[in-house]
Amino acid sequence: MPHLNRRHILVSGLSLAAVGMAAGAAGATETTPASAGVLKRLIGSRAKSITFKLTPSGSAKPWYAVSAHGGKLTVEGSDPVALTKGAYSYLKSTGAAQVSWEGDRVDLPWRLPDAALTRTETPFRHRAYMNTCTFGYTTPWWTWSRWEREIDWMALHGIDMPLAMEGQEYVWQALWRENGLSDAELAAYFSGPAFTPWQRMGNIEGYDAPVPQAWIRKKQVLQKQILGRMRELGMTPILPAFGGYVPKAFAEKHPEARIYKMRAWEGFHETYWLDPADPLFAKLAGRFIALYTETYGEGQYYLADSFNEMLPPIAADGSDAAKAIYGDATANTKAVAEVDPAVKAKRLAAYGEAIYDSIRQARPDAVWVMQGWLFGADKEFWSSDAIGAFLSLVPDDKLMVLDIGNDRYPDVWTRADAFKGKTWIYGYVHNYGGSNPVYGDLDFYRSDLKAITTSDKTGNLAGFGVFPEGLHNNSVVYEYLYDLAWGDVPVADWLQTYTRARYGHTSPALMQAWNDLQKAVYQTRYWTPRWWKSRAGAYLFFKRPTIEGADFPALPGDWTLLKLALTEFLALGKSYGHSPLFCNDVIDATRHLVSGDMDRLVQVAIKAYQAGDLQAGDKAVADLSDLAIRLDALLGYQQETLSSWIDDARAYGDTPAESAYYVENAKAQVSVWGGKGNLNDYASKAWQGMYKSFYLPRWLKLFSALRAGGFDQAAFTVSITKWEHDWVNDAQVYTRSKPSDPIAAARVLLGRLEGLESLEGKA
């Protein structure tokens, strides 16, 4: 991933002196090197003077207490993560620091403001983070320096339960070698780095194989560093376990085993799942954890997802697996209807018990963790009774459900009766595919978390989490959510503190701009346009071109208010334009606004050409092209670009051949994805390089064909699909080009929008 400019930092002043707080507090200790290390990496040598006091308590709810007097700061808390969160909360509250994916702002005053002793306790025993998919959409090319920064970000935001999925291919490789698979068979099994999550969950096998052995070894070294730091900070990482999927080569070597051929997921070929009732399941599961422990040390929480977008085989011979066709938000209703409810309940209960037992045999104190995504996505199959049956034979305290999708499937936990007494984590996905439209719903998050923390129907609720498929977008959403996890705060009040910490100062005019921006775009819970008529892509402009785009629905949000908010931000350029984070936020809003108008220009052009009005069509296409090229130039200022994604992939290689392979893999993910289903453009990115070199040329080809007459959509789709694959394999070099004055460039773009005749009446 690109280097995040931590040195957007202005550290001034004298060193902080610090004294103990609550002297003589029972059980308190000042030995907290992990928390001090995070602060040192953030503010440098001044961190030496902050006193951290670790005071473990019998309470299940983590807490911190902060006081400042006479320029001295002391933080006391229940664990290292709580201590780190406490220090960061104080720094934010005084306007001294703000940490985000886009960069940091740190400007310590000469003398820290006094603050009376305050104690903050989170209602959530755990605060979880990351999604299995994050390790494909965001982290494939991360080195330790990038991971170290992310773990610091976690601690500063009070996160104690992250998923830790790196490095597992090293263990899988050892397991399958022990069970008779050759290196050649293994080379054909593992999928490319940007697609490993779906390999791990059993959706695909051998896509873009073979994976370089160097990648597997690098990830092994990296995972040791990741887990070492997480454990130093007292975090409880969630580790991988065996969910039942086996290589095809293993299935062929064991014809006597109860191994089911599962469905071909999203246009890939089928995968193979071992029935937990087969003796091989417990053997493989136990050995995987033993090998994992030998490699990375012991854990307590182990993730095993057996049915991620794959329906369980139910009939005695497993024949139902062939009919388990997944559709977004619903399972195959015909296959579901054919299953005897009693047989289904018995079968699911046996599956759940056997999966847990396979983990428990290796780690008696282990907790089986599973994502609850399937319960919402395949709701026709996973009725309340089916969920209850699956969980029924596992001890309540030995299963944790990550109910990740409450911003999209908010009824899962209520349908599941709070997961029948099992521990569970409440949370949101928010981001899909690492795609980055500007959206979120700050008011909803606040009211929703107030409701969940005051409900008497949540059973054994163990925590809260955010589970984005991809990072580096809408950081305001994540900042607010992890603050809400430690206490309620109204959006308007929170934005006042946020803007002061992020930009160095705030003002009524800035708050007006942010309030308008929040009302315009941050009242959208789920970005519905990303999936339209079986076509992925954050905007219409990002989708594979189709004349059906003429009927694309209006994008969520208030676009008139967004334009007003952007105008208000640009008017503050003289006061805030020196702030890199202010510039980033202005560009985000500009990109979103312009992308929405580009969608409307696409529709204008399609309708004009279909009506035979070539002049109007040509005008819309010219305006669209101009906006795309101008916007592409502006986006070089942002954290990620196509060139940074490719450069990081290339740098991961130790040889030219490895580098070329990683680049191809990286480009495939943000474009064609893979398979012959509907995943192309699922991970669409609003990046410099993508607008100009990928999205615009595709639409220009459609407009050219449409203008010529006799347009054939089916033939065009075949042609453009080939073009996309050629783009993936093209060796073109992309470079980042940054605007010298991003605020001025954004102002020009806004003026360009206002002058577009072809958009009149189309907004």
Contacting residues for 245 by C-beta, under 8 A, at least 6 apart: 201, 202, 271, 272, 273, 274, 306
Return the pLDDT at 26: 42
Beta strands in 457-578 (DSSP E): 461-466, 531-532, 535-536
Residues 654 and 559 reside in one and the same domain: yes
Instruction: Tell me which residue range forms the domain holding 175.
Output: 126-489
Residues 197 and 250 sit within 8 Å (Cβ to Cβ) = no
User: For the residues of 627-645, what is the DSSP string, one character each?
Assistant: HHHHHHHHGGGSS--HHHH
Same domain? For 481 and 521 the reply is no
Residue 5 belongs to a domain: no
- Does residue 632 contact residue 691 with C-beta atoms inside 8 Å? yes
pLDDT in tens, 209-255: 999 999 999 999 999 999 999 999 999 999 999 999 999 999 999 99
* Amino acid identity for residue 39 in this structure: L
**CATH code for the domain in which residue 150 is found:** 3.20.20.80
Predicted pLDDT of residue 49:
84
State residue 3's pLDDT score: 40
pLDDT range class, residue 316, cuts 50, 70, 90:
low
Is it the case that residue 666 has pLDDT exceeding 80? yes
User: Do 552 and 683 share a structural domain?
Assistant: yes
**pLDDT over 60 (residue 372):** yes
Residue 57: pLDDT band (50, 70, 90) is: confident
Residue 279: inside a domain: yes
Domain shared by 139 and 287, yes or no:
yes
The mean pLDDT value for 454-463 works out to: 97
**Using N-to-C axis directions, what is the helix angle for 144-156 and 213-232, rounded to 10°?**
30
Q: How many CA atoms lie within 13 A of 339 on its CB side?
A: 32
Q: Are the C-beta atoms of 378 and 421 separated by less than 8 Å?
A: no
- Cβ(125)–Cβ(158) under 8 Å? no
Considering only 168-172, 307-311, 566-570, 642-646, which range has the smallest mean pLDDT? 307-311
With a pLDDT cut of 90, the percent of the chain lying above it is: 85
* Pairing of β 115-121 and β 63-69: antiparallel
Q: How far is the C-alpha of 15 from the C-alpha of 87, rounded, in Å?
A: 16
Instruction: State yes or no: pLDDT of 336 exceeds 70.
Output: no
Residue 337 lies in a domain: yes
Rounded average pLDDT over 435-460: 97
Cβ contact 635:691 at 8 Å: yes
The answer to whether residues 468 and 477 touch, using CB atoms and an 8 Å cutoff, is: no
Whether the predicted pLDDT of 719 surpasses 50: yes
Report the amino acid identity of residue 268.
F
Per-residue confidence (pLDDT) for residue 759, from 0 to 100: 67
Examine the pLDDT at 324 and tell me if it is beyond 60.
Answer: no
Q: Are residues 514 and 453 in the same domain?
A: no
Number of residues that this document lists for the chain = 763
In this structure, the number of other CB atoms found within 10 A of the CB of residue 727 comes to 17
Please provide residue 158's backbone torsions phi and psi, each rounded to the nearest 5 degrees. Answer: 80, 20
405 and 540 co-located in one domain:
no
Is 183 found in the same domain as 44?
no
Residue spans of alpha helices (H) in 78-133: 80-93
pLDDT at 9 over 60: no
Q: Residues 62, 81: contact at Cβ < 8 Å?
A: yes
Q: Is the pLDDT of residue 19 over 80?
A: no
Report the amino acid identity of residue 9: I
> pTM higher than 0.75, yes or no?
yes
432 and 538: one domain?
Answer: no
Tell me the mean pLDDT in the region 310-315.
Answer: 84
**pLDDT mean over 406-413:** 96
Q: What is the CATH number for 90?
A: 3.30.379.10
Give the integer Cα–Cα distance in Å for 436 and 470.
9
Residues linked to residue 681 through DSSP beta bridges, in sequence order: none
The verdict on 322 and 444 lying in the same domain is: yes
Each residue of 641-658: pLDDT tens digit? Answer: 999 999 999 999 999 999
Residues 235, 231: Cα–Cα separation, whole Å:
5
Distance (Å, whole) CA 67 – CA 635: 42
Q: Strand 399-403 to strand 326-327: parallel, antiparallel, or no bridges (unpaired)?
A: unpaired
Q: Is the pLDDT of residue 444 over 80?
A: yes
Indicate whether 213 and 233 sit together in one domain: yes
Residue 6 lies in a domain: no
Instruction: Give the model's pLDDT for residue 341.
Output: 87
Q: Which among 121, 153, 180 is the end of a domain?
A: 121
Contact 606, 707 (CB under 8 A): no
Asked if 507 contacts 576 with a C-beta cutoff of 8 angstroms, the reply is: no
Q: Is residue 626 part of a domain?
A: yes
Domain shared by 133 and 94, yes or no: no
CA 433 to CA 670: how far, in whole Å?
Answer: 9
DSSP structural state of residue 407: T
The CATH number of residue 723's host domain is 1.20.120.670
495: in domain: no
Which pLDDT value is given to residue 733? Answer: 94
What are the tens digits of pLDDT across the range 579-610? 999 999 999 999 999 999 999 999 999 999 99
State the pairing for strand pair 245-246/272-274: antiparallel
Of residues 20 and 670, the one with the higher pLDDT is 670
- Can you tell me the distance from the alpha carbon of 520 to that of 321, in angstroms, rounded to the nearest whole number? 45
Q: Which pLDDT belongs to residue 24?
A: 35
197 and 160 inside one domain: yes
Cβ neighbours for 89, distance < 8 A, ≥ 6 positions apart: 64, 66, 120, 483, 486
Query: Given a cut of 80, is residue 304 above it in pLDDT?
Result: yes
Identity at 528, one-letter amino acid code: T
Domain boundary among 121, 140, 175: 121
Q: Which of 69, 86, 121 is the last residue of a domain?
A: 121
Handedness of CA 288, 293, 295, 299 (dihedral sign): positive
pLDDT above 50 (res 323)? no
Average pLDDT of the chain is 92
Which pLDDT does position 483 carry in this prediction?
98
Looking up tokens 């012959």 gives 676
Residue 569 backbone dihedrals phi, psi, to 5 degrees: -65, -45
The proportion of the chain whose per-residue pLDDT surpasses 70, expressed as a percent, equals 92
Residue type, position 679, single letter:
L
Give a yes or no: residue 477 inside a domain: yes
pLDDT at 31: 54
Split at pLDDT 50, 70, 90, the class of 438 is: very high
Tokens coding 573: 């350029």
Residue 758 confidence (pLDDT): 60
User: What does the alpha-carbon distance between residue 194 and residue 143 come to, in Å, rounded to a whole number?
Assistant: 15
Residue 567 lies inside a defined structural domain of this protein: yes
**How many domains does the chain contain in total?**
3
| CB atoms inside a 10 Å sphere around CB 726 | 9
Please tell me the least confidently modeled range out of 127-131, 231-235, 252-256, 312-316: 312-316
Instruction: Compute and round to an integer the Cα radius of gyration of the chain.
Output: 26
